[in-house]
Amino acid sequence: MRPSILIALAFLSVGCFRTWKRDPLPLPPSKLPDPQPPAPIVPASAEEPNRSVPVKPPHFEIPPGSIPALPGLPKPSIPSSIPDSPPLAEPFSDSAEPIHIPLARAKPPVEKAAPGPSTVPEVRKLLDAAIKSYAGVPDYEAKLIRREVVSGKAMQTEELNIAHRKEPFSFYMTVIGDAGKGREMLYVKGQNAGKIIIVTGKGDNVLLGTGKRMELDPESSLLSGKSRNRITEAGMGKMLATIEKYVGQAESGKRPTETVRHLGAIDGIESKIPLTTVEVSLQVGDEPLLPKGGKRTYGFDADKTSASYGLPVQIVTHDDKGKEVEFYSFSGFKLPAKLTDADFSPDRLGGKKK
């Protein structure tokens, strides 16, 4: 072959190669399938009550340019804003039958039982009989069992012999039980410079020991730390006056009548003698030592053969939480006791005089 022909063929091949590299063959255009229309909602007919009704799915409008570009397609335009959520194809109809949710049936109001008849008249009758009986008693002697809670601390149960005279107001007591054994206390209104004379007993004071004689003011903390009540306010007359106060308030409407109740007959806790009991519900402010109130029961001697028949011989007090804070049980009464000045003389006290 001639050299000229070979050179011509080489130039033609190079030209075809350059043309093929510059102008590639176009790809066939891509076409997205058209979205299918939603299924129509077919209402249930009267002849087919149990036929289920299809729910029309929500239709979303696809904003232009939200479809990503495919190879061979021009770059889509991005819309300036995109809706937060697509709207439903059709709003719900107000004509749809409302759904009724059954509400819980309200409970009928509970009717409070009507209060029973007041027992205040019975208490008054019992109290008046006790006041009349005690009015003719000039003095008495008795045995006392007591236990108290003082400043939140439970004291030991004590057994005492007591002697009380109305005029002049005189009170003597001595501990005969093991707890505090030998302690004596004496008070006579208007005598001994108004002091209470004390002789210490077993366990009263480690430093002073037993048999130490002292004279203390009735308001001394040494006394209030041992007992809830003052010796200057002791005696059955004080008990009756306190009951009278609460009964009078109930009768005059100053306190609810149900706070003073006649409970009937019980047996005494210590003495085991039959008692007729009265319960007083103590209100807030009734007594300083019970600032939140509480309950107190008074037991009246119901034994007709007893020397203390008809008189209050047992007192039990509970605080607002039901805790016992006072217990006093009297027994072995001798009344009248025919007490004399010598029975209330400081000379009868043990120990040395100051």
63 domain residue, yes or no: no
Quick check: is 55 in a domain? Answer: no
Pairing state between β 158-165 and 184-188:
unpaired
Supply the pLDDT for residue 269: 86
Confidence at residue 105, expressed as pLDDT on a 0 to 100 scale: 56
Identify whether 196 is part of a domain: yes
Q: Is residue 280 part of a domain?
A: yes
Name which of 60-64, 133-137, 292-296 the model is least confident about.
60-64
- Structural domain count of the chain: 1
Question: Is residue 95, in this structure, part of any structural domain at all?
Answer: no
Express each pLDDT in 229-240 by its tens digit.
888 889 999 999
Indicate left, alpha or beta for 257 from its phi (over 0: left) and psi (-120 to 50: alpha).
Answer: alpha
> Which DSSP string do the residues of 145-192 spell out, in sequence order?
EEEEEETTEEPPPEEEEEEEETTTTEEEEEE-SSTTTT-EEEEETTSG
Flag whether 66 is in a domain.
Answer: no
CB-based burial label for 103 (10 Å; 0-12, 13-18, 19+): exposed
Structure tokens given for 306: 């007893």
Q: Residue 252's domain is classified under what CATH number?
A: 2.50.20.10
Residue 44 lies in a domain: no
pLDDT in tens, 238-272: 999 999 999 999 999 999 999 999 999 988 888 78
Residue the block writes with tokens 């308030």: 249
Q: Report residue 295 as tokens.
A: 């309950």
CA distance to 145, 212, 223, 343, per residue, from 198 (Å): 19, 8, 10, 15
In a domain, 325, yes or no: yes
Structural domain for 302, as ranges: 120-348
The pTM assigned to this predicted structure is 0.66
State whether residue 237 is helix, strand or coil.
Answer: helix
Provide the token pair at 166.
């109305």
Do 163 and 336 form a contact (C-beta atoms < 8 A)?
Answer: no
Whether the CB-CB separation of 212 and 201 falls below 8 Å is answered with: no
